Chains A and B, each alone.
Chain A
Amino acid sequence: EVQLVETGGGLVRPGSSLKLSCATSGFTFSNTWMNWVRQAPGKGLEWVALIKDKYSNYEANYAESVKGRFTISRDDSKSRVYLQMNTLRDQDTATYYCTKGGNWFAYWGQGTLVTVSS
């Protein structure tokens, strides 16, 4: 059974940093592309970042809204994907979901809530 479990969310001040983690199991992580997708409270879904597998040299892509502030990474030995978020803004407040897959996001975690507020 595919499982994705996000952790690391919380309440932080604007300008601060936070690192999210997604632990995975039930599939071959090392050859799977992984994404982060977020959802602001009461709003729709927004793709945030993608990290490809080793066969694609771990290429990372970002939404314009987070480029230069967020960094996606992975540890294939631990089957984990991460999202380092720096210089957080109020508008980054959202539930962050880890998702499996490149072209379509077949599986989603339960999400972790990040609240950016002074």
Chain B
Amino acid sequence: DVVMTQTPVSLPVSLGGQASISCRSSQSLVHSNGNTYLHWYLQKPGQSPQLLIYRVSNRFSGVPDRFSGSGSGTDFTLKISRVEPEDLGDYYCLQSTHFPPTFGSGTKLEIK
């Protein structure tokens, strides 16, 4: 299985500040069709995960432009600018290029 390594485990940020989360895969996530199936989720406390970014850099419907995704191959980053209280929670990356789909272990975004 593809191992997804997320860092940091915990990320204290100031409201209004910027956060950056890294996700690295144990093998390239470029599919044979040329697409890269790396996605980002936020799980707020007590809630289900919600999709933020799909295929590296595409914001899902309703996701603020404060969230941005980038990267290629095995190295990916989620950036959150102007952090707001509603952004707090656990962030997960997911790869679905290779079977089975695998998640990163999560990054907890908390207030400094």
Contacts and interface: CB of A to CB of B under 8 A. Distances in A.
A111 B48 contact: yes
A104 B102 contact: no
B100 interface: yes
Interface stretch (A16-24, A42-50, A68-76, A85-93): A42-50
Contacts, number: 49
A7 to B, nearest CB: 15
A110 B51 contact: no
B39 A108 contact: no
**Residues of A contacting B: mostly:** loop
A44 B48 contact: no
B51 A47 contact: no
Q: How many interface residues does chain B have, given as a range?
A: 20 to 34
B51 A104 contact: yes
Interface in B63-112: 92, 94, 96, 99-106
Contact of B39 (A47, A104, A107): A104
Given A103-B37, A108-B50, A110-B48, A61 B103 contact: no
A25 B49 CA distance: 19
Interface of B: 37, 39, 41, 48-51, 54-55, 60, 92, 94, 96, 99-106
Given A61-B99, A105-B49, A109-B48, 15 more contacts: A45-B103, A47-B101, A47-B102, A97-B49, A103-B37, A103-B54, A103-B55, A104-B51, A104-B55, A105-B41, A106-B54, A106-B60, A108-B48, A108-B49, A111-B48
